[in-house]
Amino acid sequence: MTDLARQVVDLGASLFARGLTAGRTGNISVRDGDRVLLTPTGVSLGALAELSVLDTGGRHLGGPPPTKEAFLHLAFYRARPQTSAVVHTHSTHSAAVSCLAGLDPSNALPPLTAYYAMRVGSLPLLPYHAPGDTSLGALAEEEAREHHALLLANHGPIAAGGDLAAAADAVEEIEETARIFLLLRNTETAPLTPDQVAALRA
């Protein structure tokens, strides 16, 4: 197993051990030159052994069959040439927020903390699509040109990064902020102001 593949296996085990994925949900990919290593379909992130290998066009080059959500990962690699890794989970609190009525589709979560503002920024909400409906890929690709993290309605978060740690950090930050958001639901809150958010980006 290559060092890069080992990093995917270790991240999967870590996400699973901390309850950020359950059952056989969630998937991870990393770019390796002109190929993409992806977690396989039907395998728990806590028990990864072998990875699927695809080209960036989605052709299966080796290993077991990839996750059925591979098309979402490939949408990020097409839209963001600087992306080297993508992480997607069905983490409980993020998934709960993705089921709420009345969210702002251009930004599903307010900037409650500085870390959220720095690691995620804005989080567009993509409309619900049935599992395997690849028309979601075109929407994700369009939004991914401007945003490295997206929330899929009635589903969960997906985030890209320059490396695996950055992509995982973004998904974990979404989950933590979703948890805070739900704890504060129906309570008056004071998110960061636009000036405070702008100062973090400077």
Q: List the catalytic residues.
A: 69, 115
User: DSSP secondary structure string, the chain?
Assistant: --HHHHHHHHHHHHHHHTTSS-TT--EEEEEETTEEEEPBTT--GGG----EEEETT--EEESSPBPTTHHHHHHHHHH-TT--EEEE---HHHHHHHT-TT--TT-SS---SHHHHHHT---PEEPP--TT-THHHHHHHHHHTT-SEEEETTTEEEEEESSHHHHHHHHHHHHHHHHHHHHTTTS---PPPHHHHHHHH-
